[in-house]
Amino acid sequence: MNFPPFAKHRIFAAASALIAGSILLTACAPGAGESAAKADGKESLVVYSNSVSDGRGAWLTAEAAHAGFDLQLVDLGGGEVMNRLSAEKNNPVADVTFGMNNVYFEKLKAQDVLEPYTPAWSGEVDAAMGDQDGKTFWPIVREPIMLVYNQAAFASADAAPQDWTDLWTKDQFKGRYEVPSASTGATTQMVYAGILSRYADPNGELGVSQQGWDQMAAYFKNGSTAVKGEDLYARMKAGKVDAGQMWLAGKNSREAEYGIKSEAVRPKIGVPYSVQHVAMVKGTKKAKTAQKFIDWFGSAKVQAAWSNKFFTAPTNKEALADANQQAITQTNAFTAQDIDWALVAENMDAWVEKIELDYRK
């Protein structure tokens, strides 16, 4: 047989390595839905979260192990966590999910993906931030979604925009602010919610009055579209734009990276707060362990430690004293905009569709 020498050896070598590998993979993989009970009797929990990147996941896994939980984190974006949970609802893989905001959790609740549970710390948080008429998801961390501007671009704070609406109604800001290049990001959808929910109208298209849609159209028409691969702060530094959307923790790290000072606008109407929640997944076979984990994770002690480590403002009132005070001060510096999250959650997908088709450049 005259096989070209490279093909023969390598393909066989690779194939045998591969077969060995896949047997190994299947051998030590827990099957679907089976409880992966360990030798010491610990049940492992599968946790889906969009809030475990940047080292948060490693920290959580280690801390949870001390507390007796064996976590398997699945680190995905907010939209992906939601889509995956709803796709798997007939045969769930996850036991617990946390990190997503109200919009996503309201959508999951509407699809009957979450199991009601009242955590031990329910009295220590403002339950109104979470599930309004049920007990499915509970708040853990809150963070303002802000409009930031480059300080160097404006002579004084008075010369800078005072609210989102200034951007497209006042000539000096037109073309000088960044609008998102995709509608999929969680922050972006919060910005949409902040603008559109001001014009809520039960008789309007998708729950929003025509005036509201005109504002959205003007927002995109007068904005400078974000460029993939270029950060807002890079564009501000280069003088291409002067303002754009940002979340609290992101502002601090980017100021350090690019060496520019930015300031957040404080609109009278307030800003949308992205509140992260935790919930148990319906159909989990490890409900007891999942509940214990939720009780532990949202407790004042763990939330205070999380805050100090990752610059967050906990919702657990008992955690505030020991938490990162700077993060709390900066978070509380804003007024919370009054937003009907149920309305937002019900319509967000349709809003995104309309914006993508009709308004984005």
**Touching other proteins, residues 246-285 (CB under 8 A):** 247, 249-250, 253-254, 257-259
Q: Which of 63, 93, 151, 205 binds other proteins (CB under 8 A)?
A: 93
Distance of CA 107 to the CA centre of its chain: 14
- Identify the helix (H) or strand (E) that includes residue 342: helix 341-354
Q: Which of 149, 124, 128, 150 is nearest to 137 (CA)?
A: 128
- Beta bridge partners, 47, equal 73, 96
> Is residue 128 close enough to count as binding other proteins by CB under 8 A?
no
Binding residues for other proteins, total number by CB under 8 A: 81
> Is residue 162 close enough to count as binding other proteins by CB under 8 A?
no
224-225 and 178-179 beta bridge pairing: parallel
- Beta bridge partners, 139, equal 277
> Is residue 53 close enough to count as binding other proteins by CB under 8 A?
yes
- Beta bridge partners, 246, equal 146
Query: Least distance from C-beta 259 to other proteins, angstroms?
Result: 7
| CA 44/CA 183 separation, integer angstroms | 35
Stretch of 82-90, 124-132, 163-171, 324-332 lying at the interface with other proteins (CB under 8 A):
82-90
Distances, alpha carbon 91 to alpha carbons 34, 85, 86, 104, 281, in Å? 11, 10, 10, 20, 11
> Is residue 50 close enough to count as binding other proteins by CB under 8 A?
yes
Binding mask 25-44 for other proteins (x = CB under 8 A): xx--xxxxx-----------
Indicate the residue among 188 and 303 with the shorter CB distance to other proteins. Answer: 188
| CA 350/CA 361 separation, integer angstroms | 18
Residues 217-246 that bind other proteins (CB under 8 A): 225, 227-231, 233-234, 237-238
Query: Least distance from C-beta 14 to other proteins, angstroms?
Result: 6
Stretch of 89-97, 119-127, 129-137, 329-337 lying at the interface with other proteins (CB under 8 A):
89-97
> Is residue 358 close enough to count as binding other proteins by CB under 8 A?
yes
**Helix 248-258 / helix 325-332 crossing angle, nearest 10 deg:** 110
Residues in the chain: 361
> Is residue 23 close enough to count as binding other proteins by CB under 8 A?
no
